[in-house]
Amino acid sequence: MHAITVSEPGGPEKLTWSEVPDPVPGEGEVLVDVAAAAVNRADIMQREGNYAPPPGASPYLGLECSGTIAALGPGVSGWSVGDEVCALLSGGGYAEKVAVPAVLLLPVPKGVTLIQAAGLPEVVCTVWSNVFMVAHLRAGELLLIQGGAGGIGTMAIQLAKALGDRVAVTAGSKANLDFCAELGADILINYREQDFVTEIKRATDGAGADVILDNMGGGEYLDRNVAALAVNGRLAIIGLQGGTKGELNIAALLMKEGAITATSLRARPLKEKAAIVAAVREHVWPLIAAGKVRPVIDRELPMTDAAEAHRVMDGKHIGKVLLIAP
C-alpha cells in the first residue's frame, strides 16, 4: 500500500506519498480500507518532529479516518467486512489502509457521507471528553471556546448549543466570527481587536465563563483564562499553541474555586479511549442523525496533496480539511 511519510522533520515539503508495508490487524483489530482522513494540528506537530507517536502506534500521520472494513482480526465481533465506519486513531490515517482496534470504530452516522465522516472522530471525542466528561458543562452554563472557527471550535459550538448552553468564541476575523454565529455562538470576540477577558466580563455582568476550552495553553493565556473564569469555573486545556509555560495566579484560582485540567487524547490508554468512543456513540451520534450537529468541512484534497493540506492548516480555514484516498 501507499502512505504519506515524513522524510525528515520540517515543513510540508517533507511529506511524500510512499510505498510502505501493508498493516496487519492484530487481536481485537480490524483492517480498514481508507476512504478519507482528516488533518489535525497534531499532524503538523508530528511532521515538525515535536509530537512522536505513542509506543505501538503507526508511524504515519493521521488521527482519524473513514472507510470500509476489509478484514477482521482475531477476537472481533459486532462488525462485518464491508461495514462503513469512521475511526479514532493513534496514527496511520494518511494511508490506503489502517489497522484499528475495533473498540475505536464508529458507524458512519445517518445524514453524513462516508467522506464527511472522516472529520468526526477526533474532534467529537476531544470535545465530548473534555467539555462534558471532564469539565462537566451543564445546561444553561457559558462555554468559552478559544479559536471557534477551527475543527474543534466548530464542533464545540454545535454540541454546546444542542445541549442548551450559551457559547462565546474567539476568532481572528469577521468572516470567522460570522460563521461561528451561524452555528449558534452567542458572544463573538475578535482576539485581534478585543480583550477576551474584558468582553466575557461585560457579557456576563462580571460573572465569567463556566467552562473554557483552550487550545493555547501557556504564554499569556493561562493567567488570563483564569481571570475569565466564573466562580467554580473549569479550564480545559487541549493545546499548546500559546506555549508550554505560563504564569498562574494561584490566589485568583483559589478565589474562583476553579479547576484546570489538561488532556491529550492520543496517548490515553485504549480502555479510556474506548469509553470515550462509546459515550460519543451514545450521546452525539443521535444529535448528528437528528441534524442538530454536522461536520464542518473547509475543503477536500487528494491524499497525495497532503503537503498542500498542511499549508492550508497553517493559514486560513474554517472547520476540517480532509484528504481523499486514491
For 86-110, what is each residue's pLDDT tens digit?
999 999 999 999 999 999 999 999 9
Residue 218 has pLDDT above 80, yes or no: no
The arithmetic mean of pLDDT across residues 208-215, rounded, is 97
Q: How confident is the model at residue 216 (pLDDT cuts 50, 70, 90)?
A: confident
pLDDT at 125 over 90: yes
What's the average model confidence in pLDDT over 214-231?
Answer: 92
Residue 245 pLDDT > 90: no
* Percent residues over pLDDT 90 in the chain: 93
Q: Nearest CA to 212 among 229, 196, 199, 194?
A: 229
pLDDT in tens, 263-272: 999 989 999 9
Mean pLDDT of the 100-123 span: 98
If pLDDT is split at 50, 70 and 90, which confidence band does 217 have? confident
Domain boundaries, the chain: 2-120+266-324, 124-262
With vertex at residue 119, the alpha carbon angle to CA 115 and CA 120, rounded to the nearest 5 degrees, is 115
Q: What is the mean pLDDT of residues 278-284?
A: 98
Please give the Cα distance from 55 to 40 (Å, whole number). Answer: 20
Q: What pLDDT digit, counting tens, does each position of 310-319 carry?
A: 999 977 799 9
Domain covering 124-262 in this structure, CATH number? 3.40.50.720
CATH H-level superfamily of 2-120+266-324: Medium-chain alcohol dehydrogenases, catalytic domain (3.90.180.10)
| 193-205: pLDDT as tens digits | 999 999 999 999 9
C-alpha cell at 139: 445546561
For the whole model, what pTM was predicted?
0.95
Please name the residues in contact with 29: beta carbons below 8 A apart, sequence gap of 6 or more. 73, 76, 99, 100, 101, 102
Q: Can you give the pLDDT at residue 220?
A: 84
Confidence class for position 240, pLDDT limits 50, 70, 90:
confident
Average pLDDT over all residues of the chain? 96
Asked if residues 178 and 206 have their Cβ atoms less than 8 Å apart, the reply is no
